[in-house]
Structure 1
Amino acid sequence: MIDDFGPTELWEPATRRDPHAFYARVRAAGRPVPQYDPAGNRFWIVARHADVLEGLQHPEIGHELHRHVEPDLSPSAYPPSETERISSRQLIALDPPDHTRLRRLVSTAFTARTVARLEDWIAGVAAELVTHVRALGRFDAVTDLADPLPVNVIAQLVGVPDEDRARFRDWSATIVSASDYDGAATLAFADYVDELAARRRADPRDDLISALVAQEAQGDALDRDELVAMVQLLLIAGQETTVDVIANSLRLLLTHPEQWHDLLADPALAGAAVEETLRFRGPVEIVPPRFAFRELDLAGGTIPAFERVGLSLWGANRDPEVFSSPDMFDLHRADVAGHIAFGYGTHFCLGASLGRLEARLMLEAVARELPGLELTAEVDDVRLHHGGALPLQIGRT
């Protein structure tokens, strides 16, 4: 039965092997489906495209629940730690007006015009990486291609010197893997941002850190925790999501030989391949947790006040009401523009243009220079999503 859902089914191994079948059942159920995550939190899963779009724009769904519940006036014996303060100031954890203010301060670095000026430089970095792996013959596409490109791009934008970029990447990997249990990586990262900001106050450069600290003189500044949180978010969101898109584009193309051959024949299809990868297997399964600020009707059912709303981008992007043959990977797809892999509305991904550009330029370089590329092992989609390897070799063309 379509309504027969286990309470923790979304996180069970069988579902992790085929999450899209689960989301198809949620769409068919015609209502939000409650699920409990491993920490015991209840989410109301929404998976139809129209419903997810409505949820992404709903004025009574957001992140800052504390603004909508009665405050606990009892004194706390445990004031927030530094890592908790930084986490609470992440752009993706805020609603307007704070979200609006912080996003405005960094948005100029990610306009289409600003990003376009980086194209030649990014293409050069991609070409160097492809030249390196061609000499290796066998390599890991995650470690050797997908990972180094975005970390160098984000570091360049932020203003991280070349000699510090390895540390920059290590911090990102630790924080995003949820292994930063004691906050050591976050604190070390915060100290580094403090140091870098101090250097840029004394010696401004043409980079984002310099632009942000320059706002201080105009009275429109980020406070210290906001600055650290912003740089951390740019590193993690700009790095991890783009790695995912590049690696999965290659995986999907190489496991769909007819699509791979079409790209080899016409590398200009790289942009279409990126968009179809975003639709078919985007980097974000469910948007960061949002809450219903009151009891509300959504997706054919009622979500209780103050509970978590799980808006599934994966579910929306395989909705047959919007996409023909949605479970088919097809870089010639005419309806791909309907995907919402980067979200929608207030929290639409700030770095969408940059991520698209990086992935496109990498696929173009690979198609031109590595036509004999082959997978050397079967790759688990779920494992790749959580930081696995993508072993490749350059065979005969």
Structure 2
Amino acid sequence: MRDEAGQDAVVVLPHILDPRSRPDPYPLYEEVRAAEPVWVPGRPVVVFASHEACEAVLRDPRASNDRHHALLHRPPGTAGGAAPVPAELPSFLFMDPPRHSALRRLAAPGFTPRAVRRLAPMIRELTDDLLDEAAARGHLDGVADLASPLPVTVICRVLGIDTGEREWYRTRSSLLGQAVDPYLAFLGVPAPGLAERRRAEAELTEFFGRLAAERRVEPRDDMVSRLLAAEIDGEPLTDEEIVTTCRLLLNAGHETTVSLIANGLLTLLDHPGTLAALRDDPVATAPAVVEELLRLQPPLQLVHRHAREDMEVRGTPVPRGTTMVLLLAGANRDSAAFGCPHRFDAERADASRHLSFGLGTHYCLGAPLGRLEAELAFTRFAQRVVGPELADGPPHYRPHVVLRGPASLPLRTRAILDRATPWAPPRRERSDQPGTAAR
């Protein structure tokens, strides 16, 4: 089942977890893809990194997100029918249909393209507020001042929770985000910081439990109140389902967008022509830029799926209970799917074939919101921030493996223009000259 190349690739897997690989993990994904499939010795785990294999698994209904189907999550020595190790973040994200579909349908109306478009004025105003605050301080950090506060504030407003505590939510969500890092799959141990994650999870659970109790007494026009009023097959949601759904929407509703905007800003600093295009014609430019950044620097580097029954992936038998680790970031740079895959190309015609939001049943619920936030953030950054460049050399990265992104982006700028700068400037001849782009 494993040839020499596969054995060599097994050695690569722990390096994916190494913080020193965080700035550029893509060569490691290349090695895995060249040797695919890569089986982890001694554990029921197989790793895929090609676009074809990852797409096939994401679309296959036999590939489950429910950890009850994973031998990997069972205590050593237990029988096949024994209860699995309790999963962190037990929400509909880790369920399969029909319960997954029913819970997802209740949350979905707040994240449809039409519902998201209604948020655009608020997101524009918030983006300008954040840039105004940075201008008043006299310095701009692309993560702390824009990529982080923008999506967490937006999702707080969608959920109807206090935005004044956004840093409290942010730090706890960041801890929980490390739960999906593949330490158990690759090394057989939980991701570091288990005690801190459980404490953060308990604090968020307690918070949403109190909030749900308040909304029962005094409902509002927000997501928590709608979940409290909802029913599935004539039955109300359980308290646990309400709390875990709210917690999932908070965490998933901003963590990936933080990384998308942070990685995108870092990439755009090296492409002044694209910044100029965003400034001059954002309506035509921003959607394609976001799709290419999603492909090139995906905020979600990998996902897990579990074989609920025996299945086959590109001719590879995958026994029931096997965990499949899909390196989405490797699939997005597969030369069999994309020409010059390591190059940023804002005019790439097929960028939307990326797998960054998944496919099938678990396609990202918040994809329309993440796209809009990124489009508006990049557009306003290009329009108001003059001559941006990194202030302190290459950035340090967050400890997250899956939610990869820089921890901070201190920038030097020549100016941050006033918010009176129009969002939709008159069309004029586009220039790709670096001197023109830098203004």
- Name the TM tier (shorter chain): 0.7 to 0.9
- 1:34 is matched by which residue type in structure 2? W
Alpha-carbon distance between aligned partners in 1 of 2:249 and 2:233, rounded to the nearest angstrom: 23
Alpha-carbon distance between aligned partners in 2 of 1:185 and 1:87, rounded to the nearest angstrom: 11
Q: Which residue of 2 aligns with 1:107?
A: 108
Alpha-carbon distance between aligned partners in 2 of 1:381 and 1:273, rounded to the nearest angstrom: 24
1:80-120 deviation per Cα after TM superposition (whole angstroms, max 9, x unaligned):
8xxx47733x1221111121111111111111111111111
In 2, are the aligned partners of 1:174 and 1:180 still within 8 Å (CA)? no
Alpha-carbon distance between aligned partners in 2 of 1:75 and 1:359, rounded to the nearest angstrom: 44
Displacement of 1:387:
5.4
SS at match of 2:306: strand
In 2, are the aligned partners of 1:65 and 1:293 still within 8 Å (CA)? no
Which structure 1 residue ranges, 5 or more long, are not aligned?
Answer: none
Q: Which residue of 1 aligns with 2:412?
A: 393
User: Which residues of 2 match residues 287-298 of structure 1 at below 5 A?
Assistant: 287=303, 289-298=304-313
- 2:37 is matched by which residue type in structure 1? P
SS at match of 1:7: helix
The match for 2:339 among 296, 315, 324 is 324
- 1:23 is matched by which residue type in structure 2? Y
- 1:136 is matched by which residue type in structure 2? R
In 2, are the aligned partners of 1:134 and 1:394 still within 8 Å (CA)? no
Q: Which residue of 2 aligns with 1:353?
A: 368
Alpha-carbon distance between aligned partners in 2 of 1:144 and 1:273, rounded to the nearest angstrom: 21
Alpha-carbon distance between aligned partners in 1 of 2:39 and 2:240, rounded to the nearest angstrom: 35
Q: 1:311–1:272: structure 2 CA closer, same or farther, 3 Å change rule?
A: same
1:367 aligns with 2:382: yes
The match for 2:300 among 284, 295, 303 is 284
Structure-2-length-normalised TM-score: 0.80
Displacement of 1:74:
9.7
SS at match of 2:173: helix
The match for 2:289 among 252, 267, 273 is 273
Structure-1-length-normalised TM-score: 0.88
1:302-324 deviation per Cα after TM superposition (whole angstroms, max 9, x unaligned):
22331210112112211222211
In 1, are the aligned partners of 2:123 and 2:373 still within 8 Å (CA)? yes
Q: 1:109–1:17: structure 2 CA closer, same or farther, 3 Å change rule?
A: closer
Q: Which residue of 2 aligns with 1:20?
A: 26
SS at match of 1:87: coil
- 2:34 is matched by which residue type in structure 1? A
Displacement of 1:272:
1.9
- 1:172 is matched by which residue type in structure 2? S
User: Which residues of 2 match residues 109-258 of structure 1 at below 5 A?
Assistant: 109-177=110-178, 179=193, 181=195, 183-215=198-230, 219-258=234-273
Q: Which residue of 2 aligns with 1:377?
A: 392
1:7 aligns with 2:24: no
Which structure 2 residue ranges, 5 or more long, are not aligned?
Answer: 180-192, 416-438
Alpha-carbon distance between aligned partners in 2 of 1:239 and 1:365, rounded to the nearest angstrom: 19
Q: What percentage of aligned pairs have identical amino acids?
A: 37
Alpha-carbon distance between aligned partners in 1 of 2:87 and 2:34, rounded to the nearest angstrom: 41
1:323-366 deviation per Cα after TM superposition (whole angstroms, max 9, x unaligned):
11111011111111211210000000000000111111111111
Q: 1:59–1:176: structure 2 CA closer, same or farther, 3 Å change rule?
A: closer
Alpha-carbon distance between aligned partners in 2 of 1:255 and 1:317, rounded to the nearest angstrom: 20
In 2, are the aligned partners of 1:264 and 1:371 still within 8 Å (CA)? no
Alpha-carbon distance between aligned partners in 2 of 1:116 and 1:356, rounded to the nearest angstrom: 11
Deviating more after overlay: 19-28 vs 311-320: 19-28
Alpha-carbon distance between aligned partners in 2 of 1:34 and 1:180, rounded to the nearest angstrom: 26
In 2, are the aligned partners of 1:295 and 1:304 still within 8 Å (CA)? yes
Displacement of 1:217:
10
1:167-200 deviation per Cα after TM superposition (whole angstroms, max 9, x unaligned):
3333223333453516222222111111111111
Q: 1:74–1:67: structure 2 CA closer, same or farther, 3 Å change rule?
A: closer
In 2, are the aligned partners of 1:296 and 1:303 still within 8 Å (CA)? yes
Deviating more after overlay: 303-312 vs 246-255: 303-312
Q: 1:317–1:67: structure 2 CA closer, same or farther, 3 Å change rule?
A: closer
Name the Cα RMSD after superposition.
2.9
SS at match of 2:34: helix
